[in-house]
Chains A and B, each alone.
Chain A
Amino acid sequence: MSKTMTQPELAAIEVKGMTREAFLMRGAIAAGGVYGLSTVGPFVRQAMAQGGGDVDILNFALTLEFLETAFYTMALKQVKGLSGDVKEIATTLRDNEAEHVDALTATIKDLGGKPVKAPGVDFGDAFSSEDAFLELAQTFEDLGVGAYNGAGPMIESTEVLAAAGSIVQVEGRHAGVIRLLRGERIAPGAFDKGLEMAEVLEAAKPFIKA
């Protein structure tokens, strides 16, 4: 992997393989690039200890859901002249993402974990027009799909997998409809391949204010 890490000592660590531990480690390393080393310490230690439980994966998902919720909330306030269809869809998406945040937060607490806080966000000029908004919306929704699909096989608990599955289908629905509104092919291909945590964090990084 050729991601540029902000922490040189972390950049030296490379983890290969398909195991759950490796998946979490790679995510932890990437998180270091996003949030800085201090927040990553516990994450890495946990991930290395015994796989970290499903909490780390849920917190990873929660971060993305926070990002999406903030994105649609701000868009509905800031994008001028949203058309009827787009406004209606954006409202649905905002509400869905907010429910995902609540559900993930509650699940993490149920599992004895500590939910991450909402990250600071910066969406650049994505709210300057409907087109710009929809373009970034597509990026986020496709990213969300890939993130959950990548994490899914690493989830240990059947209940958590079921919950993640019920959320990711909704992300897929969002992604398809946003693409439809943009006149794009509704799916990038016939298979929504899973992404590594590291790839997702790298893609999300520009929009997170550390």
Chain B
Amino acid sequence: MSHHLLSPSSRHPRGFTLVELLVVIAIIGTLVGLLLPAVQAAREAARRSQCGNNVKQLGTALQNYYSAKSSFPTGRNAMSISTQTFLLPYIEQTTILQLVDPTKAWNDPFHTTAAATKVPTFICASDPAAYLPATYAGNNYRFNQGSGILWGNPPTASSDPNFGIPGPDGVFFLDSRVRIQDITDGTTQTAAISEHGVGDFNNGLSSRTDTFWPQTTPANANEAVQQCQAIDTKNLSFQRFSNIGGPWLYGYHSTTIYFHSNVPNARSCMFPPGRIMTTAQSSHPGGVMMGMCDASVRFVSDDVDQTVWRGLGTKSGGEIVAGFAQ
């Protein structure tokens, strides 16, 4: 018996006990649990950096377009062909431009291939874009129409329901061909580009990328903000537009244009006919990337002062817009 107890196998255990194994696994689990949020934050920082790089490329493309044409590209033409389309030669995508005829409507069958052709510069990696139809190529970058709420240009007929509403005061709108001398606020103080996520393409689902419908008629941006914030977005009767962020070819408030009427990552609303409040919006925690008219890139917090944010949206409002970027 005693000989058996002192055998080599009993003096040198064969391995770990179950409890020891569990303790080791628990320690590893705790360490990984502590590390993982940091890893995910680092990955998002990399994605945000890539998104900012795209904004920079688009800003540079705007400058090169300006050098060639002596104006910034239009926000959209009469066929609803987007700013993005006109920038294609300046981001080395001339071959895709050959698939576009700007004299034809964006949804003309001629444009089927272009509408489905992905352009990497238009995609932000932070956005999963899970529901984008295969026939549409997505777009995460929007051009600044200004701080108002009117989608089209000011109507001249007094019978028009939007008669008297101020027109776009940004840089990109219907048939705009803004020149630098028009930007009296200065190109460093005037926004050109920001972001918006791709939508869920489903009005049976409420998402932060959607454009909601308060069923009201605001007279100005302040009323639009107040009426948009007042609705319960879980109530699907306020759903209006979910086809957001595609195709890049389509110059529209849900695809290629944004407004400075409300702060970044606030909800977007529409007030048909013709009054719109599409905000800048992103998947980055705490704010959005913004490209200025001089091609510089900033990250602007969701907490930016609304007056400052609107001032950044106007090209000649004369506002003081210091201290807006991180």
Partners in one complex: no
Binding site for B on A (CB under 8 A): none
Residues in B lying within 8 Å of A, measured CB to CB: none
